[in-house]
Structures are given as structure tokens and as C-alpha cells.
Amino acid sequence: MAARTFRVATRGSRLALAQTARVVDKLRQRFPQHAFEAYVVTTTGDTHPAGAHQAEGKGIFVKEIEEALLRGDADLAVHSLKDMPTETPPGLTIAAIAEREDARDALISRNGAQLKELPERAVVGTGSVRRAAQLLAARPDLRIEPIRGNLDTRIAKLTGARASPVAYDAIIVAAAGCRRLGLADAITETLPTDLMLPAPGQGALAVEVRHGNTEAARMAASLDDADARQAVTAERACLRALGGGCHVPVGALAEANGDALVLCARVLRADGTQLVDAEGSGSSDRPEELGTDVASDLLGRGARALLGLVEGK
């Protein structure tokens, strides 16, 4: 194929641009005959920060980027997978799970205190109902307050470098974002998964392409990480079987164990007073089946009531 320039759609935040740059660098290394350039798209989540609250998996950071792909304005798109709904729109496909960083959540505290060391009634900022519920399950005395903005903004609000109506003692963010922005030193504590299960797909980057764009799909596929794809496929299958877009906090993490895949998942009441855990293992080449089985186990253990589902619905 003759040399050409491929446009890679992305959000304009510093983290999104850094993640896209990692993917673009790899594409340039593998396909030096082509040029690749970032194509910045403003999403609903960027323009309506209040609506971005509790936005994991709701698609508000994805929709306009996918529309750009479908129109042909871009050839590829890079997303944080946890921002993507479990159903991909007709005409598009996730051609690669390009890489996965540390999937866990991280606590950044103002005075260097770990979660167990935070004083009673400490104020913890998070924009995620999943994180809030699990924090309250572990520390019901905490005061959870919403915090919005990109990672740099949230850290600035915590430290007081940026004005905020709330004085936070700590915030909870994705460890992957900190590491990709060179802010790993800001992390006070990486939270263990028995306390804080991440969002399905957290830490993974997805490369999406339009059906019929065979060259873009071929190039993207060269970046696919099979282990990461199997893990996130199980996590997202579990979320999909539970209802996908519900507002109930759901955490899930799959990890390889030899030739098997082990999936842990959790459904909680938003105030953290009730939670249901399930764990399952299965063949790594059938991650969808594993995710569905673990979701069924969760429902059988009582998650149905937390999800607000009606039997047979």
C-alpha cells in the first residue's frame, strides 16, 4: 500500500493524548512507511463535567469519537477501555487491546496517610459510585465527596493548588493514569483488589476501527495483547450479563493463572452496606463464557436485588 497519513482520534486531555502517543509511537515503529497523527475530538464528558460524574462505562467520553470514525474523519481511535459501553456500535470494532497497565485504583492523600490511617470522617474525593461504595464498605466513617476534572485537576484540588469548595484529605484515581503521566510518585497507596476491585477494563487501552478499513484494522491488530484481551473480555462479559449500563457499583478483574483465567467480580449497594462477591475460573480461550458464569453466580448470591432486577426480566 502506498504511504499515507492515518488519523488517530482521541480526547484532548493530557492523559488521553499521552495514551494515544504511546499507541502512535508503536504504530510508527511497526509501519514506518506511513504517517500517524492525533485527531482531537471533544466529547460530551469533556464539555459537561457534571455529567461525567459516575461515568464509567456510560460512553460519554466515547460517542463523538466513534461518530468521527463512522464519518471517516479518523481511521483509528484510542480509548480508555473502562469508558466504553459493553456493546460496540454497528460498523465499528475493537481491533486491539493495545496494552494494559496496572488495573488497580490508587489513593493519593494530602498528608501521606494510607487508607487505614486516614482520620475518622476524612473527606475522600471520587467521581465513581463504584469507588465510593467500596470505600464505604471498608471505612463507613469516611465522608465521600464528588470531585471532577482530569487527573491533574483532581490532584491540584487535593493539594490546594487549585481552588475547590471542598477540602479533600485524599482522592481515589486509577493507578494506570498516574503511571502513564509520570505521576507514580504521587500515589500514596495502590489499593488491594480484595478491598477495591477496579472497573471492568480499567488500565487497558482499546484501539477501535471502522468496518471495511482493512489497512487500519491490520495495523491495529499488530498491537493486540492476547492476555489483556482475554482478561478484559471476561470482565466486560460479566458486566454485560449483569445489565451493563446500570448505575449500581460493579467491579471486576480477571487475571491469568497458567492456562486458566480467574475472574473476581463484585456488586455493591451504593452506600457500601451490602456487597456480593463471586469468583470463577475457566479456560483462557473462552473468556465470554467465564464472564457470563460469574455474573450468573453473582445474581444467584443476591446481586439481583442490588441491581434492581426483576426475576425473568
Cβ–Cβ under 8 Å, residues 265 and 306: no
> Active-site residue 259, yes or no?
no
CA-CA distances (angstroms) from residue 114 to 50, 124, 169?
28, 12, 11
Residue 53 is placed in which grid cell? Answer: 460524574
Do the beta carbons of residue 95 and residue 209 sit within 8 Å?
Answer: yes
Positive/negative CA dihedral, 17, 20, 26, 28: negative
Q: Give CA–CA dist 235/255, Å, rounded.
A: 10
3 state SS of 117: helix
**Which one of 46, 83, 105, 169 is the catalytic residue?**
83
Segments in 181-285 forming alpha helices (H) = 214-221, 226-242
Beta strands per DSSP E along 34-188: 35-40, 76-80, 92-100, 105-109, 123-125, 143-145, 170-174
| Catalytic residue IDs | 83
